[in-house]
Structure 1
Amino acid sequence: KGIRVIDAPVSGGEAGAIEAVLSIMVGGEQTDFDTAKPILEALGKTIVLCGPHGSGQTVKAANQLIVAVNIQACAEAVVFLEKSGVDLNAALDVLNAGLAGSTVLTRKKDNFLRRDFKPGFRIDLHHKDMGIVTDAARNVGAALPVGTVVASLVASLRAQGDGGLDHSALLRGVERLSGHPTQG
């Protein structure tokens, strides 16, 4: 029958892997997906066939776009709130309970509060992923106006020596642009 393959990138980070609750986006044939699904269920909670071969990688690229833009928006909000004299911890709690809430804000809140940028998912890796998504979008003719700006901000952090930090260190870039002393 030959070798059968699927592409099955994951999302959920280190915490999702440890808790076996990763989201797994799969590209391939239905029969191959059905064969692999019991194995994938040991790793993840949401396992979805997204289309033919390559679709998993495309969905993963979209995931990295959304995560980067979300982290950037959170970082901008943090600096805005701090410069406004608001209780940051309280503000992030109430924001996360409303429409502004997100898994990014839940998982990265302590990084922002403590300026703890110990690598979970490094800027260097997100830079690579932003290159993948911007190239793929260009190839299919999809405009990414905000994503392209965030890709440039990620590249800027790398150029400033922050590539080994967690991607929540996008906060450092916003601090620099705002004349706010960087911490962490």
Structure 2
Amino acid sequence: VLCGPHGSGQTVKAANQLIVAINIQACAEAVIFLEKSGVDLPAALDVLSGGLAGSTVLTRKKDNFTHRDFKPGFRIDLHHKDMGIVTDAARTVGAALPVTTLVTTLVASLRAQGDGSLDHSALLRGVERLSGHTTEN
């Protein structure tokens, strides 16, 4: 799909990575909120998947979240690189991306903690650490 002049494809790819990272972070926060509230996580994620909160990210990463399975798919290291591309491009065009900036920092934090080789759904690990939340999985 032609999205504009030369370079537009790279910009669309960067926007995709921005949306995916923010969506994974939102899902990770919801998982911890649900678990700390004593809610049946698999049931709750099924309910959420069927409503407006549903997304391809939630559908594809649901098992990663419930089973804490962070085998590499799309690695944190690669998402970190892509978030750098988003941040640089946004700065160049003068676009303020406050939530993206925060999620970029959280991705960088995971890398600094040695989680760079894990799947990007491991953003859940960062929320767990911030919440003092551990699971048996």
Distance in 1 between the 2:48 and 2:62 partners? 11
Structure-1-length-normalised TM-score? 0.73
Structure-2-length-normalised TM-score? 0.98
Distance in 2 between the 1:161 and 1:94 partners? 33
Q: Deviations over 1:3-36 (max 9, x none)?
A: xxxxxxxxxxxxxxxxxxxxxxxxxxxxxxxxxx
2:112 corresponds to = 159
Aligned length: 137
Letter of the structure 2 residue corresponding to residue 86 of structure 1: V
2:56 is aligned with 1:103: yes
Alpha-carbon distance change, 117 to 104 in structure 1, aligned in 2, over 3 angstroms:
same
1:118 corresponds to = 71
Q: Deviations over 1:52-99 (max 9, x none)?
A: 110000000000000000000000000000000000001000101000
- Structure with the bigger percentage of strand: 1
Once the two structures are superposed, the pairs formed by residues 1-184 of structure 1 within 5 Å of their partners are 48-181=1-134
| SS in structure 2 of the partner of residue 100 of structure 1 | coil
Alpha-carbon distance change, 182 to 146 in structure 1, aligned in 2, over 3 angstroms:
farther
Asked which structure has the greater RCO (Cα within 8 Å, sep 6+), the reply is 2
| SS in structure 1 of the partner of residue 115 of structure 2 | coil
Runs of 4+ aligned residues of structure 1 deviating over 4 Å after TM superposition are none
Letter of the structure 2 residue corresponding to residue 157 of structure 1: L
Q: Is the 8 A contact 1:119 1:164 kept in 2?
A: yes
Segments of 5+ residues of structure 1 without an aligned counterpart are 1-47
Segments of 5+ residues of structure 2 without an aligned counterpart are none
Distance in 1 between the 2:135 and 2:62 partners? 17
